[in-house]
Amino acid sequence: MAENKQAVMEELVSLAKRRGFVFPSSEIYGGLGAIYDYGHYGTLLKNNIRDAWWKHMVQYRDDVVGLDSAIFMHPMTWKASGHLDSFDDPQIDCKKCKARMRADHVLELFGVSADKQPLEFINAELDKLRATGKLKCQNCGSVDLTPAKRFSLMVKSNLGSPTDALSEENVVYLRPETCGGIYLEYKNTIDSTRVKLPFGIAQIGKAFRNEIVARQFIFRTREFEQMEMQYFLHPSMMNEAYEMWRELRWNWYLEYGIGKDDIRWYEHEKLAHYASQAYDVEYDFKSLGGFKEVEGVHARGNWDLSRHSKFSGADLSYFDEKTSERFLPHVMETSVGLGRLFLMFLDKAYTQEDNNGEVRTVLKLDHRLAPIKVAIFPLMKNKPELVTKAKEIFDTLKIDFMCEFDDNGNVGKRYRRQDEIGTPFCVTVDFESLEDGCVTVRDRDTMTQERIKIADLQKYFWEKLR
Ligand code: ATP
């Protein structure tokens, strides 16, 4: 396996494209910056990661309910949440080659932490570097760079008839995070589901950010999916809930094959305008050369509900029947990018190992995440009796498991292809199968093979694929 991050990333990008996981969007038109499409196996893997999150965040809990709110929301939502005034990143431009850079990322390279710092701080730090001659364009090396300025991450759109489509009055924003919808539906959720504090609302959906630089494959994209859960509670419960959710989220990573040394907590010193406490889960990406944020766990106080109450005039307070107390709940949030998790699992699973002098590339994904669970092969394509039997097995297993029928090339080649997409089991129907009613089942990780009765396959996979 490649040693340096760039080479690892190139291998992942190449595998993702070659095997139908991720394609650059609009490629025939030359692509569109930092937007990606997910192919067949990518869609399946993404759906499985999404399901794994939903199971733990909603299905396994009696205190979290689901939501699927619209991407477009009343523009006032973003005024109230503070995004219109302060959801931006510091940008610097190279005057020579016109490359754009994120000033806080540039400073980070010199060990200066500028996350969420004011522009004055950032420009003062940039000036110090300028004076030493160390501040250079990351693209062309020129020292002729602009000072940092604020660049809004909000993506604007218009709703309305074509004639007034450009009118400022019709401006709407593509949501920059999904939780806005959760706050707006918090009251309807209470009224319709009879939830009592503390309770959470979870949702998965698209979010859009006009990121200044987005060069790290699907780590940072301009259109992405977020999986967020807002846990509403009495302020006195915040510390307890915060610790509980931090532990739950940490264990979720371990549950799906991430090692405890692969992740760590990063505590934010400088907080976003809404947060009172913020930790990130960081994963040690081989393809990005170190620990990077995958998920945020934030204590948001009652900032959002108080602002939406103020801007909309709606009473968003909660009445606790037990204590007869009326108050505005506080919020504990977990927020994670689905594409970022996708890259994390790919990065972790990607393995190259020696197999009798040959390099074997295999995605060692957790069985529950693997796009295809079982691949079914007839030993030979041109033997109708083998093909019919293999199809029969496919038709039985497909009801319970995502399966694939493959009769292309020799079996060794089919194994290699299934290894590259992370299929845990391959089933081969051979001539003996027609006699003894057994097939060969090959395990992705150990490459061991065993003969299993066709009649027992379903039970076998139910046990193996949990
Ligand atoms: P970053 O510091 O990486 O820009 P952030 O702190 O702005 O991220 P949040 O606003 O806390 O991120 O968003 C929560 C999660 O949403 C992040 O941890 C990440 O997984 C995901 N996310 C945010 N922005 C993007 C993006 N542009 N592309 C993909 N995922 C993203």
Residue environment code for 427-447, b if the CB has 16+ CB neighbours within 10 A, otherwise e: bbbbeebeeeebbbbbebeee
Q: Is 180 in the pocket of ligand 1 (CB under 6 A)?
A: no
Q: Is 287 in the pocket of ligand 1 (CB under 6 A)?
A: no
How far away, in angstroms, is 157 Cα from ligand 1 center? 21
Q: Is 342 in the pocket of ligand 1 (CB under 6 A)?
A: no
Q: Is 220 in the pocket of ligand 1 (CB under 6 A)?
A: yes
Closest by alpha carbon to 301, among 258, 261, 242? Answer: 242
3-state secondary structure of 317: coil
Q: Cβ distance 439 to 427 under 8 Å?
A: yes
Query: The tokens 């039970």 sit on which residue?
Result: 459
Atom of ligand 1 nearest to the CA of 335: 14
Supply the residue whose CA is at minimum distance from atom 23 of ligand 1.
Answer: 337
Q: Is 334 in the pocket of ligand 1 (CB under 6 A)?
A: no
Domain ranges in the chain?
2-81+171-347, 88-152, 372-464
The backbone torsions φ and ψ at residue 62, rounded to the nearest 5 degrees and listed phi first, read: -105, 10
Q: Is 296 in the pocket of ligand 1 (CB under 6 A)?
A: yes
Supply the residue whose CA is at minimum distance from atom 30 of ligand 1.
Answer: 337
Provide CATH code, domain 372-464.
Answer: 3.40.50.800
Give pTM, 2 decimals. Answer: 0.93
Q: pLDDT tens digits for the chain (466 residues)?
A: 566 899 999 999 999 999 999 999 999 999 898 999 999 999 999 999 999 999 999 999 999 999 999 999 999 999 999 998 888 889 999 999 988 889 998 998 899 988 778 899 999 999 999 999 999 998 899 999 999 999 999 999 888 765 555 566 678 999 999 999 999 999 999 999 989 999 999 999 999 999 887 779 999 999 999 999 999 999 999 999 999 999 999 999 999 999 999 999 999 887 777 777 899 999 999 999 999 999 999 999 999 999 999 999 999 999 999 999 999 999 999 999 999 999 999 999 999 999 889 999 999 999 999 999 999 999 999 899 999 999 999 999 999 999 999 999 899 999 999 999 999 999 999 999 999 999 999 999 999 999 999 999 999 999 999 7
DSSP one-letter code for 163: G
Supply the residue whose CA is at minimum distance from atom 12 of ligand 1.
Answer: 296
Q: 435: Cβ–Cβ under 8 A, 6 or more apart, which residues?
A: none
How far away, in angstroms, is 349 Cα from ligand 1 center? 22
Supply the residue whose CA is at minimum distance from atom 6 of ligand 1.
Answer: 296
- Give the pair of three-digit tokens for residue 431: 């001539």
How far away, in angstroms, is 337 Cα from ligand 1 center? 6
Provide CATH code, domain 2-81+171-347.
Answer: 3.30.930.10
